[in-house]
Amino acid sequence: MQNLSQILRKLPLHDGAAADPRFRSPGSVSLKAGNIVTARAGYHGVAMKGGQLTREVVADFTERPAEMLAAAKALHAGVASAEIVGIPAQEGETDLAREGQLLRRWALYRERSKPLRDRKIQAVLEEGLPLRCEVCSFDFTAAYGELGDGYIEVHHSLPLHVSGVTETRLLDLALLCANCHRMCHKSFRRESWRTPDAIREQMQKLGQ
């Protein structure tokens, strides 16, 4: 519980609460772990008072164990590398649970890296390809002339909880217009990340 306590206290979610040594202490983490165990469906012992939120979290984990475990590992890796600590809030993260916000914040922060974006755009131009959305083919230059020249957004094709903490390859990045990019990130029906291929398939189903 000591290690878990240290990890939880380092997550940048608590607005200075970690200054209190009682916050997410090994004892409180152990108690919460007991709450989680007794909230599982099929538990036959005496249930502890974990509250409705604990039951919802346990139900979510039970329904999507692989995804939830991968997300937890990504958060752990982000804390261990210190990469996730100190990242400012990013636009578009407010419709997720706090841990989901943190993963999205990290992903958006990495996507908005100007050197990374510039390298991807340069690689596409060197291949003689246009800078247009890989989902809907929107071309900012064609639509806005010189104002849109050279503009496109960059998206990681795999979320952090799938790819893990790795050095981003240019092949892992997709060029998207602002609309398709937001749809890739939009929280909907318990999903908070979609691939460009998934968005393209959705549009094709709708005849667009």
Dump pLDDT digits (tens) for 121-156: 999 999 999 999 999 999 999 999 999 999 999 988
User: What secondary structure letter does DSSP report for 191?
Assistant: B
d(CA 11, CA 24) in angstroms, rounded, equals 11
Residue ranges per structural domain of the chain: 1-63, 70-208
| Side chain identity, residue 184 | C
Sign of CA dihedral 100, 102, 103, 105: positive
Phi, psi values for residue 188, rounded to 5°: -160, 125
pLDDT value of residue 18: 76
Are the C-beta atoms of residues 131 and 139 closer than 8 Å to each other? Answer: yes
DSSP string covering 42-105, please?
T--SPPP--HHHHHHHHHHHHHSHHHHHHHHHHHHHHHHHTSSTTPPP-TT-TTS-HHHHHHHH
**Which segment of 65-69, 113-117, 157-161 scores lowest on mean pLDDT?**
157-161
Spatial CA neighbour of 187 closest among 125, 97, 113: 97
pLDDT value of residue 197: 92
pTM of the full predicted structure? 0.56
d(CA 43, CA 66) in angstroms, rounded, equals 21
